[in-house]
Amino acid sequence: MAETAKILNPKKKVLIADLEAGCSLADPFKAQDVFAYKEKYPKSPVVTYINSYATVKAESDFCCTSANALEVVKYAANEFKTEQVIFLPDSFMGMNMQEDLAAEGTNIDLIYPGKNDSNLGICVVHEQFTLDMLKDIRKQFNMPKGKKETAVLAHWECKPDVLREADFYGSTSQMAKYIQNHQELRRIYLATECEMAANLSSEFPQVEFVRACSVFCPHMRRITLEKVLNSLENDVYEINIPENTRQKALKAIERMIAIN
């Protein structure tokens, strides 16, 4: 994310408070992995999730967020006149989108890590949510399916069976919109990173957010107020990206923005 800020603002100084604050999706996935997919599927465009490094974005045709991934995938297929699109690096999101595309009758074969190979791109936070966990929450907090006043919401990065169990799934902003559009909601459980849930709960004080959350991102937790202060006071750690890589990554991001 810090790199993305720098890609879009090359003349500004961008600092990150802790160099170890990575992401389990982004960290293991390298530019060589993108090359390997492109070599295997040479006619298919590459759509890369925003949670990836600049070097990976630089080798991709499009960037996407969890809020626009489906639209970008469909646009990419149309633009490249193909029915096959490579989506990297989140395996669960790939599986979920493939289900959604099939359900709406869109004929796109989505290639993602783990589909035709043994690679896996997983968010260590969202993989912790299970179908049993959601069923328990429904029972324990009287939140059966179909009840208008309650809802179980899940993030795109969760497993497919978790999404099937949820009343709604999407990005954090899409979940916020869902809550806003359902004024009758009084109790909600969010299958997503707990701090994200905390942000939404402050946005919607009229709703009770089920406090059964103990799923925190170890990477995001590395960014503390003290470290932000240290970063600002001592000018550490500055993000620098080679200009050639930045230009190439910028193209993938700009293509996404143009679609929006």
The site for ligand SF4 (CB under 6 A) is made up of 23-25, 51, 123-125, 193, 217, 219-220
CB closer to ligand SF4 out of 52 and 60: 52
C-alpha dihedral (204, 210, 211, 215), degrees to nearest 10:
-90
Least CB distance from residue 217 to ligand SF4, whole Å? 3
CB closer to ligand SF4 out of 124 and 257: 124
Q: How far is CA 155 from the centre of its chain?
A: 8
Least CB distance from residue 124 to ligand SF4, whole Å? 5
By the 8 A CB rule, do 206 and 187 touch? Answer: no
Least CB distance from residue 16 to ligand SF4, whole Å? 13
**Contact residues for 139 (Cβ-Cβ < 8 A; gap 6+):** none
Least CB distance from residue 89 to ligand SF4, whole Å? 10
Burial of 62 (0-12, 13-18, 19+ CB in 10 A): buried
CB closer to ligand SF4 out of 92 and 209: 92
Separation between Cα atoms, residue 35 and residue 60, nearest integer Å: 9
Q: What is the DSSP string of 213-235?
A: -----TTGGG--HHHHHHHHHHT
CB closer to ligand SF4 out of 219 and 246: 219
Phi, psi of 76 (to 5 degrees): -60, -40
CB closer to ligand SF4 out of 128 and 231: 128
Least CB distance from residue 189 to ligand SF4, whole Å? 17
Least CB distance from residue 21 to ligand SF4, whole Å? 8
Q: How far is CA 225 from the centre of its chain?
A: 24
Q: What is the DSSP string of 24-82?
A: TTTTT--HHHHHHHHHHSTTS-EEEESSS-HHHHHT-SEEE-TTTHHHHHHHHHHHTT-
CB closer to ligand SF4 out of 82 and 119: 119
CB closer to ligand SF4 out of 21 and 143: 21
Tokens of 71: 């639209």
Q: Helix 91-103 vs helix 69-79: angle between axes, to the nearest 10 degrees? A: 70
Least CB distance from residue 219 to ligand SF4, whole Å? 5
